[in-house]
Amino acid sequence: MRTLGPGYGNFPLKAWSLFLVLVASIAAHAQPVVYGPQENYSGFTALPGIGSSPAGVDIGVLLPFDFNHDGREDMLLTQFYNPLLDQPLPVIVYLNTPAGWVDGTAGVFAGAIPQLVSANGWIVDDFNGDGMDDVWLTVYGYDAGNAPGDQNQLYLSRPDGRFDDVSATHLPQLDDTTHSAASGDINGDGFADIFVGNIFGANTIGPYFLINDGTGRFTRDDSMIPQEVRTLNRRYTSSLISDLNFDGNNDLVLGFHAGPDYAHRIWYGNGDGTFNETVLGTLPAGYSASPYLTSGDLNRDGNPDLLFSVTSAGYQNAGIQVFLGRADGSFVEHDYAASPYVDHDPYGNTAWVYEMHPVLLNAGDCTPDITARLLGSPLYLQNAGTMTYSQRTEMVGTSQHVQVYDNDGDGGTDLFYLNPFETSAGRARLQTTTPGCGVTLLSSVSPGSRSVQTGQSATLFANMMNTSGTDATGCHPAFGAPVAGSFFYQSTDPATNQLTGTPNTPVDIPAGGIRTFLIGFTASEQMSARELRFGFLCDNSAASAPVTRGVNTASIGISDTPTADIIAIASTPVAPGVISTNGTEGNSFFASAGINIGTGETLVIEPRLTVPGPAVLGICETNSAGACIAGLQSSLTAPFSTDQTRTFAVHISANGQTIPADYARNRIRLEFREITSGALRGATSVAVTTQQLAQP
């Protein structure tokens, strides 16, 4: 048995003779990016086209959005009376034209200009399925007295580029007190739904989902929300919808407002409108609410982290609470001693954070900074690269509001400042930056599963591709370990899979180039088999390679006792890594082989289609000539002794189902599971489509 190097696990050479690295797609090369220095913001530039607010009128929402489809982000403003009045004011849309900013509100809306009492949030998503983004405004209403609430608003795009205010026709007519909203498909029909996060109000309307029919018409449904949440006995002021555990189903994160346990929660989605609830963590001592939450990869390990704005009673003592994401989709609260400016109370007791964004503000270092809107002033926290932040007060001047956007369509992070009570030309100001961090990446990992003993290394091969037109520097895999253990990597020769370079040392990847790695994790405690993601980053990439389950994830199980460990590969007849049925009534197949490098076990071998539908899968074991030994079955049960190799053919009949050529998501996954416990012992996958493939 030949090994790949000391401490890197035991792989027999024959297990890799047909090794196939799967990459979902190769992006077209982008133009080279010019990098600026870390301190490359321009000085403040006045925006005289932004008009002054009437006396006693303040600004609520600042929404960056390209309303006139010219590639430059414009700005929608909502207004409210300060001091508060229960009277509506119109929204304003300022268009960011090459000649300057102009009030384009009348031309943006096809009908009457929308009005509202007070809005505190927004969503941009394609709700009507026309390929263009639409706008939702979270409308809170009159925030005084018994909080009578107001109607949330929805603006849908039209073929002529304008927008229709369909709030009265496409939404339930409710004066509810909505503090947050989030969008995403929660029931698996492919349409963007909306979570409406109500917290109290005169009409006592609890939170609910708005289920989208695909045209942007929504139906209220709270049947999947627990009774104590529907009745406002547990309340949440902030919400976020995202696929946190990369299982293809959207999850819902809720930031605490009121209840017996002061706990944030995650509702992990099942893809059918149902959820499994878990406690994420509790508010810091002395804090009572989380008015805003967002996500971003703060520590650059490829996993999304969660940032909660936290406040004490009376919405004071502003702070930011951080939970770091781990490779299995779970989270752990950040050690605040390591980052004094991402803390519970670093900003005094006169404000609270009601909007924040992890973004690249000092272009060139590619480490996420944080910009935030506090009540009364902006906040800019600069990341030193180790999640240690410093407050940059000179960046905000005397403005009251700030929003992140792209002023000129160059991909850089620009800042829009606004002081509604100024009457001079400096009321609105701009700072621009040279775009940086232009490297984009793709990655793959194989095999799709490992099962090893505690203290042994679960090793995998990884492929990292630079899909940009810029040379990538300092490139490396990363891993947020869900249990105690050590992660390691080393570059390899792609022709032989032999180790090259130095362990745990980043490498450079030329524009359009590929580097291969051996990666591994040695756990010091047991871990039930679970799907894990790996980060792939470069010093000049803004983000990790996107995660696609089965392409650059792997299931790893750690046990104190020996188990089977199947190294599985797949081979396709026409195009590498993909098969086609050539129509909705056609058929196709792929071949697979698996070798057990662990202990002997009886396993169930079953193909699974990642996209639901009537397509029929079948599997048979094959002989040395590749012919089926017996007829096709939905699954097989077979003993796998140590070092035994078995070969299979997997067949698909489309059976009338249309399967788009989305190679990242539409796949057939062949799984090897232990017969009693169902624990995964091996896996491989190929992409599948009903569209015809080009002949090589």
Query: What's residue 284's pLDDT?
Result: 86
Report whether 236 contacts 255 (CB < 8 A).
yes
Residue 236 three-state SS: strand
563-695 maps to CATH 2.60.40.3880: yes
Q: Mean pLDDT, the chain, as a whole number?
A: 87
Whole-angstrom distance, CA of residue 249 vs CA of residue 233 = 27
Query: What's residue 388's pLDDT?
Result: 82
Does residue 157 register a pLDDT over 60?
yes
Going by their DSSP bridges, the two strands 553-559 and 449-453 should be labelled as parallel
Query: What's residue 342's pLDDT?
Result: 65
Does residue 696 register a pLDDT over 70?
no
Structure tokens at 236: 């949440």
Structure tokens at 510: 């030329």
Whole-angstrom distance, CA of residue 639 vs CA of residue 620 = 15
Residues 182-208, mean pLDDT to the nearest whole number = 93
Report whether 579 contacts 651 (CB < 8 A).
no
CA-closest candidate to residue 635, choices 612, 676, 603: 603
Whole-angstrom distance, CA of residue 20 vs CA of residue 575 = 12
Whole-angstrom distance, CA of residue 481 vs CA of residue 477 = 13
- 19-23, 363-367, 590-594: segment of lowest average pLDDT: 19-23
Structure tokens at 601: 């076990």
Residues 6-17, mean pLDDT to the nearest whole number = 32
Structure tokens at 96: 């960011």
Residues 657-684, mean pLDDT to the nearest whole number = 91
Does residue 153 register a pLDDT over 80?
yes
- Which of the pair, 417 or 208, is modelled with greater confidence? 208
DSSP tally for the chain: helices H, then strands E: 3, 49
Beta strands in 493-586 (DSSP E): 507-509, 514-523, 527-533, 535-537, 553-559, 566-571, 578-580
Query: What's residue 187's pLDDT?
Result: 93
- 301-315, 392-406, 535-549: segment of lowest average pLDDT: 392-406
CA-closest candidate to residue 292, choices 357, 223, 355, 383: 355
Query: What's residue 38's pLDDT?
Result: 38
Query: What's residue 381's pLDDT?
Result: 84
Query: What's residue 18's pLDDT?
Result: 32
CA-closest candidate to residue 388, choices 484, 306, 322, 480: 322
- Which of the pair, 185 or 287, is modelled with greater confidence? 185
List the domain boundaries for the chain.
117-282, 438-561, 563-695
Report whether 417 contacts 453 (CB < 8 A).
no
Q: Which CATH class is domain 438-561?
A: mainly beta
Query: What's residue 359's pLDDT?
Result: 86
pLDDT above 90 coverage of the chain, percent: 64
Does residue 467 register a pLDDT over 60?
yes
Straight-line distance from the first to the last Cα atom of the chain, in angstroms, rounded to the nearest whole number: 36
Residue 303, CA distances (Å) to 418, 448, 533, 536, 598 in order: 33, 19, 8, 10, 30
- 158-162, 342-346, 650-654: segment of lowest average pLDDT: 342-346
- 121-135, 345-359, 513-527: segment of lowest average pLDDT: 345-359
Residues 481-487, mean pLDDT to the nearest whole number = 95
CA-closest candidate to residue 183, choices 200, 195, 171: 195
CA-closest candidate to residue 560, choices 521, 523, 526, 522: 526
List residues bridging with 266 in a β-sheet.
Answer: 253, 278
pTM: 0.89
**99 Cβ partners below 8 Å, 6+ apart?**
none
Helix (H), strand (E) at residue 70: none
Going by their DSSP bridges, the two strands 680-689 and 578-580 should be labelled as parallel
- 2-16, 46-60, 125-139, 433-447: segment of lowest average pLDDT: 2-16
Residues 86-96, mean pLDDT to the nearest whole number = 96
Q: Band of the pLDDT at 27, cuts 50, 70, 90?
A: very low
Q: How far is CA 627 from the centre of its chain?
A: 43
Does residue 39 register a pLDDT over 90?
no
Query: What's residue 7's pLDDT?
Result: 29
Report whether 476 contacts 537 (CB < 8 A).
yes
Whole-angstrom distance, CA of residue 278 vs CA of residue 285 = 20
In this chain, the answer to whether the domains covering 438-561 and 563-695 adopt an identical fold is yes
The residue whose two tokens read 């995403």 is 184
Q: Band of the pLDDT at 396, cuts 50, 70, 90?
A: low
Whole-angstrom distance, CA of residue 270 vs CA of residue 251 = 8
Report whether 694 contacts 574 (CB < 8 A).
no
pLDDT digits (tens, 9 = 90+) for 342-393: 665 555 555 688 889 998 876 568 888 888 888 767 888 888 888 888 877 6
Amino acid of residue 635 = S
Burial of 513 (0-12, 13-18, 19+ CB in 10 A): middle
Whole-angstrom distance, CA of residue 576 vs CA of residue 594 = 18
Query: What's residue 22's pLDDT?
Result: 29
Whole-angstrom distance, CA of residue 408 vs CA of residue 566 = 52
Residue 689, CA distances (Å) to 149, 191, 635, 659 in order: 48, 21, 22, 5
Whole-angstrom distance, CA of residue 565 vs CA of residue 560 = 14
Residues 540-552, mean pLDDT to the nearest whole number = 90
Structure tokens at 178: 């909505």
Q: Give domain 117-282's CATH number out of 2.160.10.10, 2.130.10.130, 2.170.8.10, 1.10.520.10.
A: 2.130.10.130
List residues bridging with 125 in a β-sheet.
Answer: 134
Whole-angstrom distance, CA of residue 436 vs CA of residue 365 = 8
Residue 274 three-state SS: coil
Length of the chain as a residue count = 696
Does residue 32 register a pLDDT over 60?
no
Structure tokens at 177: 């007190």
